[in-house]
Amino acid sequence: MKMININEKLKYYSKNNILWTLFLSGCGVPYFFNEKELNYINEETGQEDKFLVENLMPIKCIYKEAKPIFSQAPSEIINPGKYVWDFNSFKKEITVKAQVFAILSMINLLKLIPTTKANDFIIKKQVKNFLDFLTAYMRNKDGLFINVEDKTKYIDEKLKIKKDIDYNLLDQILVYEAFLTYGMLIEGEEKIYLNEAEKIFKFIYENFNFILELPTRYLSFIVSSLYRCSKVLKEDSILKELITLSCAEIESRIKISGEVEKSPNNFLAASLTTHFRASSSLMEGYTLTKIEKFKNSAEKIINQVMELFDENTATFINEEEIKYSSKDIAEIFKGLYLYCKLNEDKKMLNILNSFITKILESIIASTVDRKTEFNGYTIEIDEKIPLYSDVNLAPVFVKSLKINNNLIPIYKPSKKVNNEFSLYASLLLIDLTDDGNNNTRREEDDQHQLLS
């Protein structure tokens, strides 16, 4: 499979994951359109919007975990769509990460589905609702963002939110990315969220010495978030400086062998996923700064982990039973993809194809189509991925994958979805395969302000 075919297929998978998780599942605190909003949607709905509008289940946040099996909605919900998930399976934790990945994924969705007034209004309204929920319910007394849990028993009850006590620095950086992206690409003249982003960045900048002391898995995550921010802001010397400092710190934790240490004070080898995450962040750092040693260090890490690669299973751990989360799979794919793209390595392209076929496609619960046209390309879906109508499951990324390393490997996908992991996977896959055009503004932008 050529790189362009990989790109479009992964965008197609990611589009379905975002759409069916965030707009059809009902897996979150419900939002009910007012009469004015409903009238606008009904007036503007055409053939291209019909499926979304008829099956729409608007929400204001995303719960952490659920079973993506189609089920009956509670009686309090009027006119639910056909594809709501099992409400009894919802784990009602609402993490900052899941909320941010949802916001960024929905902004990406604007580039992946047809441009219509109804589509644009529905998506942008839900993005705004997610942002408003984040700022209203997911902050501590100091204004920092924290995880919460929805303790409401019934849909028609007043919302009851239980807040976590602790915050973490990584979450603040991810919120900065969400506010910045929304403020730069969608928000109107008010620029409320862009102003909020500037306040958060001040906090990040003042605490950056603490960030540089974080474990490698978190510091690498932060580099990638800031790198995505740099693509939105284009030229920003302060962001570039922070990314450079972070990459230099990561680079200092790499042994001659290519093994990555867990943290500045823990010299033990980090996890496989952290190795790939560290290599990805260094390649992103190189792309931005052109500092050659970042690229060299990233390649050293990749060469080290490739010694673990097993062609039979397309995995990197030589054990009888292997388990990857969907987040792990996205991180491994990202590391392989960036290396392949940076070095134009044909051997790595073959490994990438094998990883997609054997691992990544094994966490896709179902598919809408067996063959479809997407972005001007014909996408053909392997028979091993069942049609959603045959298995009664949404076409989303499931929580994890177990691989029994037998003579003939057996791949066992989870029956649950971790929405934080699956939306993160979509975010990574779209960001990697995007053509670099971050402009999600549409001609109909003023409708959003008109009805909000």
CA 350 to chain centre: 25
First to last CA, the chain: 44
Q: Using an 8 Å Cβ cutoff, are 363 and 397 in contact?
A: yes
pTM for this prediction? 0.94
H or E stretch including 321?
strand 321-325
pLDDT at 443 over 60: no
Q: Using an 8 Å Cβ cutoff, are 251 and 297 in contact?
A: yes
pLDDT at 438: 44
Question: In the predicted model, what is the mean pLDDT of residues 170-189?
Answer: 92
pLDDT at 386: 96
pLDDT at 1: 66
H or E stretch including 449?
helix 445-451
Tens of pLDDT along 32-56? Answer: 999 999 999 999 998 888 899 999 9
Question: In the predicted model, what is the mean pLDDT of residues 146-164?
Answer: 93
pLDDT at 448: 44
Question: In the predicted model, what is the mean pLDDT of residues 380-387?
Answer: 95
Domains and CATH numbers, the chain: 3-436 (1.50.10.10)
Q: Using an 8 Å Cβ cutoff, are 48 and 119 in contact?
A: yes
